[in-house]
């Protein structure tokens, strides 16, 4: 897995305050979970990633060992996926190929999800 700068565009920077926040978080899922968080930050930001509030609330190592389910409301995975795909398509100016690249998934997966959600026509694009 690798995050690359978009062709012809300068690399995007991540502010130190943004980097510090995930460093305080427990990452029980492994490095893939951390990679996915960084990819999510890039999708959620236009240009450089400067706002540490975009990082999911830090979960300290002590809190990770506490009972699961404590904390804020949890959204279903399908809703999170739908929001991420819609945001990526908006960010990419409607270009689903570019949206797929931003998300690190295949173009076919974007189209399949849109089909699953009944958003297959050009007028239905999120």
Summarised one tens digit per residue, pLDDT across range 35-56 is: 777 788 888 777 788 887 777 7
Does residue 83 have a pLDDT over 80? yes
Extract the tokens encoding 100: 């797929």
Per-domain boundaries in the chain:
1-72, 75-126
Q: How confident is the model at residue 1 (pLDDT cuts 50, 70, 90)?
A: very low
Extract the tokens encoding 67: 């009972």
Q: Which CATH class is domain 75-126?
A: mainly alpha
Beta bridge partners of 56: none
Give residue 72's pLDDT.
55
Q: Which residue has the tokens 């062709």?
A: 7
**One CATH from 1.10.3470, 2.30.29, 1.10.8, 2.40.128 for 1-72:** 1.10.8
Extract the tokens encoding 93: 């100016």
CB 104 within 8 A of CB 98: no
Extract the tokens encoding 114: 């849109």
């Amino acid at each position: 897995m690798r995050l690359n700068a978009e062709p012809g565009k300068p690399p995007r920077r991540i502010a130190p305050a943004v980097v510090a926040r995930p460093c305080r978080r427990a990452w029980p899922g492994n490095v893939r979970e951390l990679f996915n968080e960084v990819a999510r930050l890039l999708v959620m930001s236009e240009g450089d990633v400067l706002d540490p509030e975009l990082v999911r609330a830090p979960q300290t190592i002590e809190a990770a060992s506490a009972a699961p389910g404590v904390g804020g409301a949890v959204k279903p995975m399908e809703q999170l996926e739908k929001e991420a795909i819609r945001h990526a398509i908006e960010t990419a100016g409607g270009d689903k190929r570019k949206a797929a690249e931003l998300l690190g998934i295949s173009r076919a997966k974007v189209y399949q999800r849109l089909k699953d959600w009944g958003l297959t026509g050009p007028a239905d694009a999120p």
